[in-house]
Amino acid sequence: MTHIDASGLKTAGISIRKVNLSYGSLQVLKNVDLEIQPGEFFAFLGPSGCGKTTLLRVIAGFNTPQSGSVTVGGREVLSLPPWKRDVGMVFQSYALWPHMSVRKNVAFGLEERRLPKDEIGRRVDKALELVGLGHLGSRRPSELSGGQQQRVALARTIAIEPTVLLLDEPLSNLDASLRVQVRRDLLAMQRRLGLTTIFVTHDQEEANTICDRIAVMKDGVIQQVGTPMALYDNPVNLFVASFLGTANILDGAMRTNGREQVFELPCGSRFPVPDEHRNGAKLFFRPQNARLALAADQAETASVRVKGKVSHKEFLGASVRYGIRTEGGEVFADIPHARGEAHLPDEHIVGVDVPLSRVNYLPA
Ligand SMILES: Nc1ncnc2c1ncn2[C@@H]1O[C@H](COP(=O)(O)OP(=O)(O)OP(=O)(O)O)[C@@H](O)[C@H]1O
């Protein structure tokens, strides 16, 4: 289906089915299945070399998979060349022409397509206005900030009136402080345009802050798809748990105790496990879900209690991260920082309590 958004641009959903791609003996994409909704801001997230750019280029038409199907707006595109796919891609290097004005840069692709002059003028005006650069059309790229250059690259792609926008690490050329500002601008712009957008990044913070949903990739395989919060709170495996933030992972044994399922830690403590987690092999929780108690105090009700010794502390601003040495390995507990509070000294014996509702079990 193709939809028309408030910006007047058309937008389309994307279906990727069983896509496999190899370079010689190296299989870079393995049975990739994905469904991206019209108007969605979607991220491909994963470590370097996991296949994110390759997948993006398959949608754009610059890479051809050995098998599978890709539809854009319900139309199969794998047999079409890039320029017939209604897909616009902004590359990592913006590749603006340095000797041309901003207007000329944006018009370039349209002139190549031999559109009528007044149509080109109309589209350039609209694209520059949509990215907020209507007043800078006569400048050269060298007279713009990094963030503005990135917007020119975006305008150049929007001017082609694609139904889908593909962004390959668009913020990687910007310094850290600018990146935060530009990613906010990018989100505002994406909402205004309403265009289905796929954003490739290896930076989980970047994906979390601007994308509706994320596909986490590793070694050419989609590990999990979901909203940033769902992936953070309920990762399906150790890779996703660790890639999206600090993860506390404890070894133990899943046991059946009569009709009840329990998880037993090396120290002997046992906790009830909901039925859906009966195949889990490791206990997982996030540092901010942990509370510290004096070891002699009773554990909070309906929570997991792990005993250990404070091994170190890190001040993170909003919280203090305690490292606690336990029998099952080190765990971290983030305790909100309040003014004037006393901190627990190293080697202090403590109990780490985590509400059962905040504990998850992951396969080995
Ligand atoms: N044209 C090619 N020929 C051979 N191997 C390639 C080619 N293009 C990419 N690869 C390999 O395919 C794998 C996936 O590359 P890809 O660029 O998709 O990864 P990525 O996740 O986008 O990484 P990065 O974040 O570093 O850009 C890598 O191992 C890469 O070396």
Ligand 1 centroid – CA 31 distance (Å):
17
Ligand 1 centroid – CA 132 distance (Å):
34
Mean pLDDT (the chain) is: 90
Ligand 1 centroid – CA 91 distance (Å):
15
**All domains in the chain, ordered by first residue:** 2-243 (3.40.50.300), 248-362 (2.40.50.140)
| CA quadruple 158, 160, 163, 167: dihedral, nearest 10 | -50
Average pLDDT, integer, range 5-16: 80
Ligand 1 closest atom vs CA 217: 21
Residue 273: burial class (beta carbons within 10 Å; 0-12, 13-18, 19+): buried
pLDDT at 5 over 70: no
Q: CA 334, 180, 50 angle in degrees (round to 5)?
A: 80
Q: Which whole-number Å values give the CA distances from 114 to 110, 117, 122, in the listed order?
A: 6, 8, 14
Among 63-77, 261-275, 312-326, whose mean pLDDT is lowest? Answer: 261-275
Helix 146-158 and helix 117-130, axial crossing angle in degrees, nearest 10: 140
H or E, element range at 352: strand 349-355
- Phi and psi at 284, nearest 5°, equal -130, 140
Average pLDDT, integer, range 236-248: 95
Token pair listed for 345:
């000294």
> Each residue of 292-342: pLDDT tens digit?
988 777 777 788 889 999 999 999 989 999 999 998 889 999 999 887 777
ipTM: 0.96
Determine the pLDDT at residue 165: 93
Nearest to 185 by CA among 209, 164, 163: 209
Determine the pLDDT at residue 338: 84
Which residues have any ligand 1 atom within 6 Å of their CB? 23, 26, 28, 46, 48-54, 202
